[in-house]
Amino acid sequence: MIPLDRIKVLNARDRNGLVFGGIVDNIQAIGLKKPITVTPRAGADGAETYLLVCGEGRFKAFCQLGEARIPALVVTVSDEDAFIMSLAENIARRKYNPLELLAGITELDGRGHSAKEISAKTGLSTQYVYDILLLVARGEERLLAGVGRGQIPLSAALKIVSAGNDDKAVQAALHEAYETGQLRGRQLLDARRLIQQRQLFGPSVVRSMPEKPDGVTATSLVRAYRKEAQRQQLLVRKSALAQQRLLFVVGALRELFAQEHFRTLLRAEGLDSLPRYLDGRVFERAVDDGSAT
């Protein structure tokens, strides 16, 4: 039985309020079914303290319930092994937080572990770890966050990185993800929005603004000009794509309206009119020539 005030959380995580409430209610009703895991350390006051290795939810639930002590399994491990044990438990959970997983892989890499070593310690595939570390090395924070949130599959993110500034290759990667069923419905819209943000603002995520902005300089003006130029170029590409789609629609409608059976079907269904703008496009006449027929 370990005093709660002698335990320090090693790898703190954000928690879903509803899920955490269920943990608290469950422990209050039937007690703790599985003890937490801690490792001892020498405290600053000379008394023994403990680092929490596994069981943060159970620990916080006991704190919320006003308990003074909690059942714990005490193991003697290094800080690094304790961190790996904590990460491995999070991965083993049925519903782990993907962003926490990415953060854990990044931290292990920062501690000098290779992709193969991280794979062996966590049970993740070596290729998955290698791909994540590649995005980290490239500074692709937006894509990493998108992968973690499920907005874009890892395979598509890697192809987007390899495509560089080739917009056609980027769109091809999204199309392939759609065709293979990796992106559907809302996911596809989220992925497109993510790619647009990456094109406009770059791969990194700006977390905060400087407290005292620097004055306007020649360098800052050039940077602002380049960013605006990139934004305008993106708008031009979007307009060109919209024009291509419109031409496709117009061409398809012309072919359909050339078929008598199709026109008869439209009249039978009461769909024998077109918006004035489309009518002018399809039949190549002035847009203001009156209502379409």
The answer to whether residue 52 sits within a structural domain is: yes
Distance CA 156, CA 178 (A): 10
The answer to whether residue 153 sits within a structural domain is: yes
Residue 194 sits in the same domain as residue 149: yes
User: 73 vs 205, which has greater pLDDT?
Assistant: 73
* 3-state SS assignment for residue 8: strand
**pLDDT above 90 (res 74):** yes
Q: How far is CA 278 from the centre of its chain?
A: 39
Please tell me the predicted confidence (pLDDT) of residue 50: 92
Among the candidates 63, 79, 96, a domain finishes at 96
Question: How many domains, in total, are found in the chain?
Answer: 3
Distance CA 183, CA 199 (A): 20
Q: Where are the alpha helices (DSSP H) in the chain?
A: 17-30, 56-64, 79-92, 98-110, 115-122, 126-137, 141-149, 154-163, 167-179, 186-201, 218-257, 260-268, 276-282
Among the candidates 96, 130, 146, a domain finishes at 96
Distance CA 27, CA 57 (A): 11
Give the H or E element holding residue 47. Answer: none
Looking at residue 111, the DSSP 8-state letter turns out to be T
The answer to whether residue 101 sits within a structural domain is: no
**Average pLDDT over every residue of 204-208:** 55
Residues above pLDDT 70, as percent of the chain:
82
Angle (CA) 114-119-121 rounded to 5° is: 95
Determine how many CB atoms are found less than 10 A away from the CB of residue 183.
22
Distance CA 26, CA 188 (A): 39
pTM, rounded to two decimals: 0.46
The answer to whether residue 287 sits within a structural domain is: no
Phi (first) and psi of residue 120, to 5 degrees: -65, -35
Residue 80 sits in the same domain as residue 7: yes
Identify the band that residue 13 occupies on the pLDDT scale cut at 50, 70 and 90. Answer: low
Residue 10 sits in the same domain as residue 91: yes
Domain residues for 64? 1-96
| 4: exposed, middle or buried (Cβ count in 10 Å: 0-12, 13-18, 19+) | middle
Looking at residue 73, the DSSP 8-state letter turns out to be E
Query: Domain containing 36 — which CATH number?
Result: 3.90.1530.10
54 close to 89: Cβ distance less than 8 angstroms: yes
Q: How far is CA 111 from the centre of its chain?
A: 24
The answer to whether residue 110 sits within a structural domain is: no
Please tell me the predicted confidence (pLDDT) of residue 207: 46
The answer to whether residue 111 sits within a structural domain is: no
Residue 90 sits in the same domain as residue 26: yes
Please tell me the predicted confidence (pLDDT) of residue 84: 77
Question: What are the tens digits of pLDDT across the range 114-142?
Answer: 888 888 877 778 888 888 888 888 888 88
Q: Which two tokens stand for residue 169?
A: 């290759």
The answer to whether residue 273 sits within a structural domain is: yes
CA dihedral 212, 213, 215, 216 (to 10 degrees): 180
Distance CA 118, CA 120 (A): 5
273 close to 293: Cβ distance less than 8 angstroms: yes
The answer to whether residue 80 sits within a structural domain is: yes
Please tell me the predicted confidence (pLDDT) of residue 289: 44
Phi (first) and psi of residue 9, to 5 degrees: -80, 125
- What is the β-pairing status of strands 48-54 and 36-42? antiparallel
Question: What are the tens digits of pLDDT across the range 82-114?
Answer: 877 777 766 655 455 566 677 778 777 887 888
Residue 251 sits in the same domain as residue 175: no
**pLDDT above 50 (res 209):** no
Say which residue the tokens 């769909």 belong to. Answer: 271
